[in-house]
Structures are given as structure tokens and as C-alpha cells.
Amino acid sequence: MDLDSTFSPDYAVGCGIDLRCLFLARPETELEALDIARDLIQQGSVSVIVLDLGMALPDIHHLRRFAAVLARSGCVVLLLMTLTHAAQPRAVLQGSPAALRLFIEREKWLMRQMDIRGYRTCITILGRHHAAGKQITIDIDFDVGFKGEIS
């Protein structure tokens, strides 16, 4: 689900995504995205859903209703949100029904000569998960793939 229309087929292919196995929807609202995702889960036609909500902050009530359907399925949902500089990640995710919450932050662009070749990102595990507070740094190289280190 791509609310901001930011999906890049070229980037996805570079990350190893087979576009023939991908269903892409561009709903207009986060509620519509949750409804589509719920319908797909109930049909049993998907095993992984990525909800890229962009700048939209989902209503916790809607997320809890969605989580109830998700809990009875074998599906995994990855919920992506873009936070403004003023937003506090822990506050935004507070009360979320998610089993695992990750805060992913780009640290810097990776350069090759004068061209951007990728980026370094830091992933922090949040919440009451047994690994809460652990971090991993990942370099995402557009030509090579992924490399990471746990700290």
C-alpha cells in the first residue's frame, strides 16, 4: 500500500523484489489502506503486506481493529511511517498493537566519487520486546545490497 506514491520499481528490483509477485495499491487514505489490507488478509491471498503511510499517522483505534484480524492470520504487516523532525518516535508508537516496533533513521548518504551510491541507516528496537534498545547499523548500497552490524 503506497499512500504517497513513492514506490520505485527500479529500486525494488535492485533489492531483489520480483515485481511479478507484487500487488501494488495506492489508496487515498490510511483508513482505505487498512481496509484493503484487511480484505487481503481475510482472503488469505497474501503473506506479507507493507503499508507505507508516508506522513499519515494512523488512528490507534483503526490499528487495533486491524490487529485483531491480523492476529488470526499467518500474515506479517510492515507499517512504514515518515516522521517529521518534531515527532517523537516513542510517543508516536506508544499504544501501538505491534509485536515489534523498529525506529529506522537514515544517518548519512554513502558516496562513490561524487555520486550517491546508497545510505547508512540505524535501526533501533523499541518497546517491550526482549531486544529493546538494541541497534543495528546497515549500509544499503544501490549496487551491492545490504551489509550490517549489531551494536
Confidence bin at 32 (pLDDT 50/70/90): very high
CA 50, chain centre distance (Å): 6
78 plus 126 within the same structural domain: no
- What DSSP character marks residue 32? H
Report, in this order, helix, strand and coil percent for the chain, each rounded to 5. Answer: 25, 30, 40
Per-residue pLDDT averaged across 71-96, rounded?
Answer: 77
Count of the separate structural domains present in the chain: 2
87 plus 43 within the same structural domain: yes
Q: Can you give the pLDDT at residue 148?
A: 67
59 plus 79 within the same structural domain: yes
For position 62, which CATH number holds? 3.40.50.300
- For cell 498493537, name the residue: 97
Over the stretch 124-151, which tens digit does the pLDDT of each residue have?
Answer: 888 777 888 899 999 988 877 666 666 5
Q: Which residue segment(s) compose the domain that 118 sits in?
A: 101-151
Over the stretch 98-119, which tens digit does the pLDDT of each residue have?
Answer: 778 888 888 999 998 889 888 9
Hey, what's the cell of 98? 505491534
93 plus 123 within the same structural domain: no
24 plus 75 within the same structural domain: yes
